[in-house]
Amino acid sequence: MKKILTYVFFLVILALVVIGVVLLTAKASPLTGDVPNDSALVQRGAYLAVAGDCVACHSTAKGQPFAGGLKMPIPMLGNIYSSNITPDPKTGIGNWTLAEFDRALRYGVGKDGKRLYPAMPYASYAKITDDDAKALYAYFKYGVPAVNQDIPKSTIPWPFSIRWPVQFWNVLFAPTKSYEVKTNQSPEWNRGAYLVQGLAHCGTCHTPRGLFMQEKAMDETGHDFLAGSILAGWDAPNITADTNAGIGGWTHSQLTQYLQTGSVPNIAQAGGPMGEAVEHSFSKLSDADIAAIATYIHSVPAIGDGSTRPRYAWGIASKDDVALRGVALKVVSDPASIYLGACASCHQANGLGSVDHYYPSLVHNSTVGASNPNNLIQIILHGLQRKTNTQDDIGMPAFKNDLSDAQIASLTNYLTKQFGNPNAKQATEKDVKKLRSLE
């Protein structure tokens, strides 16, 4: 009996070792060789980089494109910084091979063999085809100016900074296969699915996360795909086909307009991370690709949350008329007075905005009508700046230096009650302080 137990114990240990080796062995890139400095290939790669919105994470507000250094706070752990992906040989990826580039892009493994943090959306980029991966490599090798810029070191302390356990996360949650065309769907639908699931990585923000911070679903076949999530203090809303909780009530043309301009009057205006995605990515994509994205998103199964009407279906115009002349905002506590002093010059006293919709209405507005006031607080704090190819620059000033946490909480609750969803969660001074600290 003792010999049998010893034998069984030996087999268990051997099995664990084999499993460990399999799990911890990084997937090799199927790509070999190099790519030519071909102008058409580089141009295609440039377009794909726009579709992937690479510049959003690999650039800072005042830095050079793709030179990295963007701080990404990891809750309760510290900060990581995006890498330099320019072709600089010392601080960038100038001496990376095609296979090394591809392994980082689609499988989350750096040139040195260390696992990348999943803040890099390689779980989505795994869907990218071999040909598109080659085009991206060509663009970053030949089409991007080299920038010599070192990146700050991560502040995540040991042992949380150890990278090899990430491979277990990869095995459990990160796909390794490129997008597979569904023959029962149209070419447009498949193109949209490829972009949404892969390059555009919409699920990174719009799909809720599980216990291990994994996206609960990676495509439309999984429950909760694109059902909404909270990321870095921003509410990325449900964009499934549910009429009330999602965007099922939007027409195809309204969704394409939103992606291209960031604005659909009396429905929604893009701000925060989505505003940046519109400015740097969606507004620069072809009409055909935007149409494909809209077609696919409208096909994602509806997921409801008990909402009785869409976010943009709330609100009535205000009839308040409060005198406020020569009074400093910082000494005002009444929210209606704060509104008239800080907001009404653009959004009008009644909240209906300007006739040409340049200043949007707060009535029938997805941000003001949301049940979670996070995005409204964020917009008041940080303002809004958005540029697209098809409209004038859009700008709203930030009030973080003009209004206190208590004033912003009071103003937020006034806006949601007066112009938006009266059943929305009440904002507190603590909520504003927390969101202010995330900048």
Annotated binding site for heme c: 54, 57-58, 202, 205-206, 343, 346-347
Own/partner contacts of 168-172, CB < 8 Å, gap of 24 or more, are: 168/23, 169/118, 169/212, 169/214, 170/107, 170/108, 170/115, 170/123, 171/23, 172/212, 172/214
d(CA 88, CA 140): 10
Query: What is the token pair recorded at 434?
Result: 């927390």
Residue 270's alpha-carbon distances to 156, 370, 397, in angstroms, are 32, 14, 15
Q: Of 48, 259, 291, give the one whose Cα is nearest residue 190.
A: 291
Q: From the CA atom positions of the chain, what is the Rg in Å?
A: 24
- Residue where the block lists tokens 């510049």: 55
Q: How far apart are CA 308 and CA 262, in angstroms?
A: 25
* Helix boundaries (H) for 226-315: 252-261, 272-280, 287-297
Annotated binding site: 54, 57-58, 202, 205-206, 343, 346-347
